[in-house]
């Protein structure tokens, strides 16, 4: 019964999204497979993005921006299906495949297992792609990232803006999974490059959209002595930023430039360009260059980095970050890009000291 209900809800969501944003401006959405039972030209392509609930998650919002930009450029029909939890992905993916979408992109590791299953079951019904993870399916194109490289730069900045007698660092994450470990590992290594006496506290919200809990954890970490608290809780980052403004501790964002002239305590932001990733996938597909296979992107590919280091910002840089310190971080970025500093191989979390 639950599965039937989930399928119905997924179908309703798809229909409503098609009506709202899936069709070109001024033209109603058309159902069914491309060119089947409609007056739409047969060559009209259809691309679907299946992802987590966007909310305030810039990771998801950036993918949607990339889809919209590509649709405007190429003129394909698009839809976005947001899934309330991991269990909803299979029905949502299956529904858009049955609707006749030519390319199905899943944004986020939560949908990876479901995508791999459907890609094997229906290999000829659509083309498939996964952003931010990888699956064991030969017909799925997977793009994932070396987030530890950007986190390393953020860690160096964190240590550079701390007072010299302060060595406690905090971070608020979504969960303690393998993906989170890449961020935490890189951050700790970057901090310890500058501050070998550093100690760390990590907390986990268990949700991608919980600013209240993220703020509560940040305030607890501040009370325990942390004076730089890295925000890596997706939509919950807003709560960490609020706490930083109230208590005047330094913090950093993730995925896009979240520095803000109204909150000078956000001293940088780790970049993970999912907008460019989405545009890249659409470009390959629309230009008939599609080929399955895995791609791992980092600083050298230009999609991972840190604001003021590898990516510019329209916002002024914090006075706490000196030109000398910034130059050291930029040199580290160049060393990663050239391979002189290799962060590709990471220890298992249980082996890290």
Average pLDDT for consecutive 10-residue bins of the chain (353 residues)?
A: 38 39 31 35 84 90 97 97 93 97 96 96 97 94 97 98 96 92 97 98 95 98 98 95 98 96 97 97 97 95 97 95 97 97 94 88
Is residue 330 helix, strand or coil?
helix
Residue 312 lies in a domain: no
| 280, 326: one domain | no
Alpha-carbon distance of 264 to 315, in angstroms, equals 10
| 77, 98: one domain | yes
For 154, half-sphere exposure in the C-beta direction (CA atoms, 13 angstrom radius) is 40
What residue numbers bound the domain in which 85 lies? 2-145+274-298
Residue 317 lies in a domain: no
Amino acid 39: pLDDT: 44
Amino acid 21: pLDDT: 38
Residue 243 lies in a domain: yes
| 110, 256: one domain | no
Alpha-carbon distance of 64 to 349, in angstroms, equals 32
For residue 203, the domain's CATH number is 3.40.50.2300
Residue 79 lies in a domain: yes
At 183, phi and psi to the nearest 5?
A: -65, -45
Amino acid 55: pLDDT: 83
Amino acid 280: pLDDT: 98
| 37, 102: one domain | yes
| 141, 151: one domain | no
Residue 241 lies in a domain: yes
Residue 238 lies in a domain: yes
| 226, 293: one domain | no
| 101, 233: one domain | no
Say how many domains are in the chain.
2
| 288, 222: one domain | no
| 49, 157: one domain | no
Residue 307 lies in a domain: no
Sheet holding 250-255, edge to edge: 199-204, 168-173, 228-232, 250-255, 266-272, 304-306
Residue 290 lies in a domain: yes
Residue spans of beta strands (DSSP E) within the chain: 46-52, 77-83, 103-107, 127-131, 140-145, 168-173, 199-204, 228-232, 250-255, 266-272, 293-297, 304-306
| 172, 281: one domain | no
Cα angle 293, 296, 298 (rounded to 5 degrees) comes to 160
| 26, 169: one domain | no
| 139, 204: one domain | no
């Amino acid at each position: 019964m639950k599965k039937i209900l989930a399928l119905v809800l997924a179908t309703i969501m798809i229909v409503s999204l098609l009506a709202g944003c899936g069709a070109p401006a001024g033209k109603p959405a058309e159902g069914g497979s491309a060119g089947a039972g409609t007056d739409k030209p047969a060559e009209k392509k259809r691309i679907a993005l299946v992802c987590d609930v966007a909310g305030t998650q810039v990771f998801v919002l950036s993918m949607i921006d990339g889809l919209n930009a590509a649709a405007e450029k190429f003129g394909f029909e698009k839809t976005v299906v947001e899934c309330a939890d991991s269990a909803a992905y299979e029905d949502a993916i299956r529904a858009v495949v049955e609707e006749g979408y030519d390319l199905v992109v899943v944004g986020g590791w939560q949908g990876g297992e479901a995508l791999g299953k459907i890609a094997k079951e229906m290999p000829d019904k659509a083309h498939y792609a996964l952003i931010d993870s990888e699956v064991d399916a030969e017909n799925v194109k997977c793009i994932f990232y070396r987030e530890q490289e950007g986190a390393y730069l953020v860690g160096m900045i964190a240590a550079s803006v701390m007072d010299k007698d302060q060595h406690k660092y905090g971070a608020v994450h979504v969960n303690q999974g393998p993906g989170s470990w890449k961020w935490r590992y890189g951050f700790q290594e970057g901090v310890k490059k500058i501050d070998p006496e550093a100690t760390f506290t990590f907390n986990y919200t268990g949700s991608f959209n919980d600013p209240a809990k993220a703020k509560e954890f940040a305030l607890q970490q501040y009370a325990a002595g942390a004076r730089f608290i890295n925000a890596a809780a997706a939509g919950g980052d807003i709560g960490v930023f609020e706490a930083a403004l109230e208590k005047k501790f330094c913090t950093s964002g993730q995925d896009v430039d979240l520095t803000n002239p109204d909150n000078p305590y956000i001293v940088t932001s780790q970049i993970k360009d999912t907008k460019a990733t989405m545009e890249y996938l659409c470009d390959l597909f629309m230009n008939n260059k599609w080929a399955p296979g895995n791609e791992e992107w980092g600083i050298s590919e230009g999609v991972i980095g840190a604001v003021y280091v590898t990516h510019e910002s329209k916002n002024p840089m914090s006075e706490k970050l000196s030109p000398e310190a910034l130059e050291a971080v930029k040199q580290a970025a160049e060393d990663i890009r050239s391979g002189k500093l290799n962060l590709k191989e990471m220890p298992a979390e249980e082996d890290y000291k």
